[in-house]
């Protein structure tokens, strides 16, 4: 019985990771459309409100062994992942553009920033294990709120994003997986969560135009000065933390605890994360992917974008890509799915 429950829990988290990874790919496809529809803009707002914080929360949730045992070889594997992503991005972009793109190590605004932030989250949490967790969490939230007032933080080490997103990782590290799984499996919690997510999605779709001014805020790479939020920026960020954490719990609750094909794909999210954007960039630059999809079904091209994002996520989830990333992240181990957490 205990083994059966463990398998169910693993299925739930693998399903969640695949859904989140699909949302990452879908969100990036929407971002590449210059003049997207109101529906896609609303979906973009919905996705970008919680998808990166949710990934970091889940990573923190399963980081306990790596952090508590001070497994620095595992921590630094995310730095190796960052180096690979930066190299792969530069090579693919150079080929797509027809000119050499220069490396900009540790000064990140493109997709490798997430691997760099993930490395810093693991490293900082490992170094802070001797401190009381409540103190670290409070300090992390306050730092995330007030870092927006730093006018010249820049993109070095993805500093702005690290401070803003770190509280989600650390909260995941603090919460026991078993208790969270048990709580989110309650029927009442699932129903309430589904209703709340549907309501939030409806708000994003209906009010996408007035809410579009929050896009820079959700990307978490600009100061309050740059977003003209100097007076109320800190309060907005505090409300953001409460809202997004609530949405993360809602998403976790509605994910089914059933093993299916996406459970297998969800074990390989790292390879999708590392490969998808340069490939998407090439398809857009060389093949006009989004324009072709829009011309096939002008009235309802949103469905084709969603399907294309799903197919790309599935293709990059195939086992053919796994050996390289297993070697990169866990040298000496074979036939393992590569994940964004331990």
**SS3 readout for 274-289:** HHHHHHHHHHHHHHCH
pLDDT band at residue 231 under the 50/70/90 scheme: confident
> Rounded to an integer, what distance in angstroms lies between the CA atom of residue 167 and that of residue 170?
5
pLDDT band at residue 333 under the 50/70/90 scheme: low
> Rounded to an integer, what distance in angstroms lies between the CA atom of residue 119 and that of residue 122?
5
pLDDT band at residue 341 under the 50/70/90 scheme: low
pLDDT band at residue 296 under the 50/70/90 scheme: confident
**Which pLDDT score, from 0 to 100, does residue 295 have?**
83
If one counts every other C-beta atom within 10 angstroms of the C-beta of residue 298, the result is 7
> Rounded to an integer, what distance in angstroms lies between the CA atom of residue 173 and that of residue 169?
6
Region of poorest pLDDT, from 14-28, 98-112, 177-191, 279-293: 98-112
pLDDT band at residue 96 under the 50/70/90 scheme: confident
Token pair recorded at residue 150: 């730093």
Phi-psi region of 106 (alpha: psi -120 to 50; beta: other; left: phi over 0): left
pLDDT at 35 over 80: no
**Cα distances (angstroms) measured from residue 179 to each of 61, 172, 339:** 11, 12, 22
The SS3 assignment for 129 reads coil
Instruction: Find tokens 């220069």 and name the residue.
Output: 102
pLDDT at 129 over 50: yes
Tell me the pLDDT of the chain averaged across its residues: 88
pLDDT band at residue 338 under the 50/70/90 scheme: low
43 and 30 Cβ atoms separated by less than 8 Å: yes
The average pLDDT across 276-285 equals: 89
Token pair recorded at residue 128: 């802070």
> Rounded to an integer, what distance in angstroms lies between the CA atom of residue 291 and that of residue 298?
10
> Rounded to an integer, what distance in angstroms lies between the CA atom of residue 172 and that of residue 38?
34
Share of the chain above pLDDT 90, in %: 64
pLDDT at 342 over 70: no
Residues 44, 46, 47, 51, CA torsion sign: positive
309 and 29 Cβ atoms separated by less than 8 Å: yes
pTM, 2 dp: 0.90
251 and 53 Cβ atoms separated by less than 8 Å: no
The average pLDDT across 306-312 equals: 94
pLDDT band at residue 332 under the 50/70/90 scheme: low
The average pLDDT across 181-185 equals: 90
**Cα distances (angstroms) measured from residue 59 to each of 142, 156, 224:** 21, 22, 28
234 and 148 Cβ atoms separated by less than 8 Å: yes
DSSP letters for 158-225: THHHHHHHHHHHHHHHHS-HHHHHHHHTSHHHHHHHHHHHHHHHHHHHHTHHHHGGGHHHHHT-S-TT
**Which pLDDT score, from 0 to 100, does residue 135 have?**
96
pLDDT at 294 over 70: yes
**Which pLDDT score, from 0 to 100, does residue 339 have?**
57
**Phi, psi torsion values for 107, nearest 5 degrees:** -125, 85
The SS3 assignment for 236 reads helix
Question: CB burial class (10 A; 0-12, 13-18, 19+) of residue 139?
Answer: middle
């Amino acid at each position: 019985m205990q083994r059966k429950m463990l398998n169910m829990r693993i299925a739930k988290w693998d399903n969640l990771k695949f859904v989140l990874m699909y949302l990452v790919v879908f969100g990036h496809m929407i971002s590449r459309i210059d003049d997207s529809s109101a529906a896609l803009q609303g979906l973009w707002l919905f996705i970008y409100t919680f998808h990166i914080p949710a990934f970091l929360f889940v990573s923190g949730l399963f980081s306990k062994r790596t952090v508590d045992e001070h497994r620095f070889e595992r921590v630094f594997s995310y730095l190796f992942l960052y180096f690979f992503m930066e190299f792969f991005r530069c090579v693919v972009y150079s080929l797509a553009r027809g000119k050499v793109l220069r490396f900009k190590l540790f000064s990140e605004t493109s997709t490798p920033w997430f691997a760099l932030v993930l490395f810093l989250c693991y490293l900082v949490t490992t170094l802070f294990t001797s401190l009381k967790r409540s103190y670290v969490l409070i300090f992390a939230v306050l730092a995330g709120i007030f870092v927006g007032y730093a006018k010249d933080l820049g993109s070095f080490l993805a500093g702005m994003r690290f401070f803003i997103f770190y509280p989600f990782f650390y909260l995941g590290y603090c919460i026991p997986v078993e208790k969270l799984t048990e709580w989110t499996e309650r029927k009442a919690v699932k129903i309430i969560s589904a209703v709340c997510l549907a309501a939030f999605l409806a708000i994003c779709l209906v009010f996408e135009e007035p809410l579009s001014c929050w896009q820079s805020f959700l990307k978490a790479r600009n100061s309050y000065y740059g977003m003209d939020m100097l007076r109320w920026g800190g309060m907005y960020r505090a409300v953001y933390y409460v809202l997004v954490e609530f949405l993360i719990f809602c998403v976790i609750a509605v994910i089914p605890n059933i093993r299916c094909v996406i459970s297998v794909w969800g074990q390989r999210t790292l390879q999708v994360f590392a490969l998808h954007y340069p490939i998407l960039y090439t398809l857009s630059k060389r093949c006009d992917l989004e324009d072709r999809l829009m011309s096939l079904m002008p009235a309802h091209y949103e469905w084709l974008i969603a399907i294309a994002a799903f197919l790309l996520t599935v293709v990059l989830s195939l086992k053919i890509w796994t050996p390289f990333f297993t070697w990169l992240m866990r040298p000496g181990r074979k036939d393992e799915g590569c994940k964004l957490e331990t």
